[in-house]
Amino acid sequence: MQPTDILIIGAGISGLLCATELRHAGRSVRLLDKGRGLGGRMATRRMAGGRLDHGAQYFTVRDARFQRYVDAWLEAGVVKEWFRHLPEDTNPAGYPRYRGLNGMTDAPKHLARDLEVHNSQHVTGLSRDTDLWIARTQAGDTFLAKHLVITAPLPQALNLLDTSGMRYANGATDALLAVRYERGLATLAILDGPSGLPQPGGMKVAEGVLTWIADNQLKGISADVPAVTLHANPDFADEHWDSDNDVRGPRMLEAAKPFLESNVVEYNCHRWGFTKPVNPWPEPYFQNAGLQLTLAGDSFGGQRIEGAALSGIEAAAAVLTV
Ligand SMILES: Cc1cc2nc3c(=O)[nH]c(=O)nc-3n(C[C@H](O)[C@H](O)[C@H](O)COP(=O)(O)OP(=O)(O)OC[C@H]3O[C@@H](n4cnc5c(N)ncnc54)[C@H](O)[C@@H]3O)c2cc1C
């Protein structure tokens, strides 16, 4: 395969927006993702005829650069406003929380239409030969590029970079290694009737093992099948990281019971190794210009889809300067 100007590891929102900006600037870009689908932690799953967002639940917009993309997605019918405030919010006016029309993967899928994305390509080794990066994947393929952008959560990105045997951190190794993430557990459940959750179908939980309950039917992405998403708090996720699903699932369902009016007919659990960075890097990206290497993602933008998006946009601008 021909080398590209830029190879991006990770087709989450940061990688996809980075690629979009670079492509608009006339550069050749290729994205690799280990997942079968797109969007990383903006993840939607089908289960027993229902559709459930099991990672990020919605996104917000504060910055004009991200707003321009969101306005285009609204116009194209890719995303829509889900709600402006939750019953427990103190600000009654609120502000828009957006969702994908059919799930959180919709915006990533929309971005990917104009991009070269290779799914199921888990990059396991990196090296450099003269002025090219070489990425090797578990599938046995090799991809070459002048500049490498990695958007995986920083602990994963650093593990991958270590395979190159290079000194890539410009003396910042310890500070980069210090960025840590919380872990998460999601339980997805199909119900035998309406959940009974109040509008808009999303609810923060202040006490106990859960932090969030969402009714994907009320949300509007699972029209025919009542389906709820439960998120556990980080302590419960740590405690039950290695538990069987038939241990952690029922614990989370029990905690949701007071809020639900119907019975669970089927459930599944999903582990999230990286939910949000506890101490994100203070800059929107990290670059080693000499090595033609840029790191981006929510490790650099912090805790939200918008942070990851802005990191991708700013990383693209930085790539264009070297
Ligand atoms: C449970 C949960 C709930 C959340 N809720 C919200 C919310 O409601 N609102 C909000 O704004 N944010 C929320 N977030 C955070 C938000 O999802 C992230 O900040 C954002 O999606 C991160 O985007 P990203 O592009 O930086 O990373 P990711 O989406 O993680 O993308 C990185 C990609 O890199 C790929 N990758 C990693 N290593 C390799 C490799 N070696 N080879 C190939 N590919 C690789 C991964 O498969 C992944 O697709 C939530 C996150 C979780 C997990």
Question: How much is the average pLDDT of 158-185?
Answer: 96
User: Does residue 25 sit in the same domain as residue 150?
Assistant: yes
pLDDT tens profile 192-228: 999 999 999 999 999 999 999 999 999 999 999 999 9
Q: Lowest mean pLDDT of 141-145, 190-194, 292-296, 302-306, name the range.
A: 302-306
User: Does residue 123 sit in the same domain as residue 228?
Assistant: no
Question: How much is the average pLDDT of 6-35?
Answer: 98
Question: How much is the average pLDDT of 18-22?
Answer: 98
E strand intervals along 18-172: 29-32, 44-47, 50-53, 79-83, 97-100, 117-118, 123-129, 132-137, 142-150
Distance 150 CA to ligand 1 centre (A): 13
Ligand 1 binding pocket mutation candidate from 44, 203, 210, 305 (most atoms within 8 A of CB): 305
User: Does residue 29 sit in the same domain as residue 130?
Assistant: yes
Distance 42 CA to ligand 1 centre (A): 6
Instruction: CATH number of the domain at 261, please.
Output: 3.90.660.10
What is the number of the ligand 1 atom nearest to the C-alpha of 160? 41
Question: Quick one: pLDDT at residue 88?
Answer: 78
User: Does residue 211 sit in the same domain as residue 229?
Assistant: yes
> Before 200, cis peptide (omega within 30)?
yes
Domain residues for the domain of 71 are: 4-43+59-179+279-319
What is the number of the ligand 1 atom nearest to the C-alpha of 303? 19
Q: Is residue 21 part of a domain?
A: yes
Distance CA 13, CA 43 (A): 11
Question: Quick one: pLDDT at residue 301?
Answer: 86
User: Does residue 236 sit in the same domain as residue 296?
Assistant: no
User: Does residue 37 sit in the same domain as residue 138?
Assistant: yes
Distance 80 CA to ligand 1 centre (A): 20
- Indicate if the pLDDT at residue 91 is higher than 90: no
Question: How much is the average pLDDT of 51-57?
Answer: 98
User: 281: pLDDT confidence band, cut at 50, 70 and 90?
Assistant: very high
User: Does residue 12 sit in the same domain as residue 144?
Assistant: yes
Is residue 155 exposed (0-12), middle (13-18) or buried (19+ Cβ within 10 Å)? middle
| Cut 0.75: pTM above it | yes
User: 89: pLDDT confidence band, cut at 50, 70 and 90?
Assistant: confident
User: 117: pLDDT confidence band, cut at 50, 70 and 90?
Assistant: very high
Ligand 1 atom 10: the closest Cα is on which residue? 304
Query: What mean pLDDT value characterizes the chain?
Result: 97
Residues with C-beta less than 6 Å from any ligand 1 atom: 9-15, 32-35, 40-42, 55-59, 122-123, 151-153, 156, 160, 184, 186, 231, 272, 275-276, 297-298, 304-305, 308
Q: Is residue 149 part of a domain?
A: yes
Q: Is residue 51 part of a domain?
A: no
What is the number of the ligand 1 atom nearest to the C-alpha of 156? 38
Contact 14, 305 (CB under 8 A): no
- Indicate if the pLDDT at residue 93 is higher than 90: no
Provide the domain count of the chain.
2
User: Does residue 255 sit in the same domain as residue 303?
Assistant: no
User: 87: pLDDT confidence band, cut at 50, 70 and 90?
Assistant: confident
Q: Which residue has the tokens 């029209």?
A: 223
What is the number of the ligand 1 atom nearest to the C-alpha of 15? 25
Q: Is residue 52 part of a domain?
A: no
The DSSP string of 62-88 is -SHHHHHHHHHHHHTTSEEEEES--TT
User: Does residue 144 sit in the same domain as residue 202?
Assistant: no
What is the number of the ligand 1 atom nearest to the C-alpha of 150? 34
Distance 310 CA to ligand 1 centre (A): 14
Q: Which residue has the tokens 């929102």?
A: 13
Helix (H) or strand (E) holding 188: strand 184-191
Question: How much is the average pLDDT of 261-280?
Answer: 97
Question: Quick one: pLDDT at residue 247?
Answer: 98
User: Does residue 91 sit in the same domain as residue 175?
Assistant: yes
Question: How much is the average pLDDT of 68-90?
Answer: 94
User: Does residue 266 sit in the same domain as residue 135?
Assistant: no
User: Does residue 150 sit in the same domain as residue 218?
Assistant: no
Q: Is residue 237 part of a domain?
A: yes
- Indicate if the pLDDT at residue 92 is higher than 80: no
Distance 209 CA to ligand 1 centre (A): 22
What is the number of the ligand 1 atom nearest to the C-alpha of 124? 41
- Indicate if the pLDDT at residue 167 is higher than 80: yes
Instruction: CATH number of the domain at 129, please.
Output: 3.50.50.60
Q: Is residue 63 part of a domain?
A: yes
Distance 151 CA to ligand 1 centre (A): 9
